[in-house]
Structure 1
Amino acid sequence: MSGAGAPSLTTDGSGLKVVVVAASWHTVVMDGLLAGARRALAEAHVEDVTVLRVPGTFELPVAARAATEAGADAVVALGVVIRGGTPHFEYVCEAATHGLTDVSVRSGVPVGFGVLTCDDEAQALDRAGLPGSHEDKGAEAAQAAVATVVALRTLPARPSRLRS
């Protein structure tokens, strides 16, 4: 199982504003991912949660960027792409991964990566946090986003650098 060795994250996210951006394709899988993210955020005491649905996984980066610009402390990006018979899978997965990474690095706002990239629907269902699933990637993405915000806040403030 790919979850072997995963850390157990228990973080207090009280007072955080979190935006969950979620794709709409593959409704059953997405409903499971979204439920897992909501559950994990509630367990972390995050009360200010906004869910923004977008058409697909390709649209997640632009929605995540808008969330950071709207003042989110963290973003949880949820999507699923299932391999087909064309290169579409690779293009969408790469665009979403690079786009979400870019949003996080440029904004300084943690983005929990809950995008499933699966060979078939059975793999997606097994990771969606549904009854009988072996993994709950929606919850894991939410936990990672909140834990990263909390960790970053422990860094000492750095004085601004003056340029000559």
Structure 2
Amino acid sequence: MSGHGSPTDQPVDCSDLRVAVVASSWHDQVMGGLVAGAERALVAYAVTDYRLVHVPGSFELPVVAQALAAGGYDAVVALGVVIRGGTPHFDFVCTAATDGLNRVALDTGVPVGFGLLTCDTEQQALDRAGLEGSAEDKGYEATAAALHTARTLRSLAG
């Protein structure tokens, strides 16, 4: 399982941060778990100023993440799931979304939590969605990573 070796969560006070969560609309059950995980992290890190935005699919995550980053948010969390099918569509969507989200973070200087599940099967996605019985909670993890990175960037700015 990919969670092996992950750091222990150490919530810090992020009550002064504005955070946006952008979530894909495909795969309701998985996305419900990812969004719930992100919201659990926001509570654990004392974030009260946040916005949740839904987009049609994972391909649309980068453009909306970019608009949110440019809109004054201190961190953006991108949540989505792409499950491999029988065509190259999987590869195109995964590459475009991943490259786009990386570009948003680098171009804007706003951390983007990477909560895009790229799975071979629906069961793999369910195992990572933070649902009851899931082995991992990628929505929480992506949010925690974005918040810690936002804190680090603030400390570097002085």
What are the superposed Cα offsets for residues 82-110 of structure 1, whole Å, 9 maximum, x if unpaired? 00000000000000000000000000000
Secondary structure in 2 matching 1:7 = coil
Instruction: State TM-score, norm by structure 2.
Output: 0.97
Query: Could you tell me how far 1:11 is from its partner in structure 2?
Result: 2.0
Residue 42 of structure 1: aligned partner: 43
In the alignment, the residues of structure 1 paired with residue 2 and residue 31 of structure 2 have an alpha-carbon distance, to the nearest angstrom, of 20
Aligned-residue CA RMSD (Å): 0.8
Secondary structure in 1 matching 2:113 = strand
Aligned residue identity for 1:90: D
Secondary structure in 2 matching 1:4 = coil
Query: Quick check: 1:38–1:139 contact (8 Å CA) kept in 2?
Result: yes
Aligned residue identity for 2:67: A
Instruction: State TM-score, norm by structure 1.
Output: 0.94
What are the superposed Cα offsets for residues 27-80 of structure 1, whole Å, 9 maximum, x if unpaired? 000000000000101110000010000000000000100101111100000000
Query: Quick check: 1:11–1:143 contact (8 Å CA) kept in 2?
Result: no
Which deviates more, 7-16 or 50-59? 7-16
Residue 61 of structure 2: aligned partner: 60
Matched, 1:4 2:4: yes
Residue 19 of structure 2: aligned partner: 18
In the alignment, the residues of structure 2 paired with residue 156 and residue 115 of structure 1 have an alpha-carbon distance, to the nearest angstrom, of 29
Residue 129 of structure 2: aligned partner: 128
Once the two structures are superposed, the pairs formed by residues 1-164 of structure 1 within 5 Å of their partners are 1-9=1-9, 10-157=11-158
Query: Quick check: 1:60–1:77 contact (8 Å CA) kept in 2?
Result: yes
Aligned residue identity for 1:5: G
Aligned residue identity for 1:66: A
Aligned residue identity for 2:147: V
Query: Could you tell me how far 1:156 is from its partner in structure 2?
Result: 4.7
In the alignment, the residues of structure 2 paired with residue 77 and residue 156 of structure 1 have an alpha-carbon distance, to the nearest angstrom, of 24
Give structure 1 stretches of 5+ with no counterpart: 158-164
Greater per-residue helix proportion = 2
Aligned residue identity for 1:129: G
Secondary structure in 1 matching 2:20 = strand
Overall identity of the aligned pairs, in %: 62
Residues paired across the two proteins, number: 157
Secondary structure in 1 matching 2:53 = strand
Give structure 2 stretches of 5+ with no counterpart: none
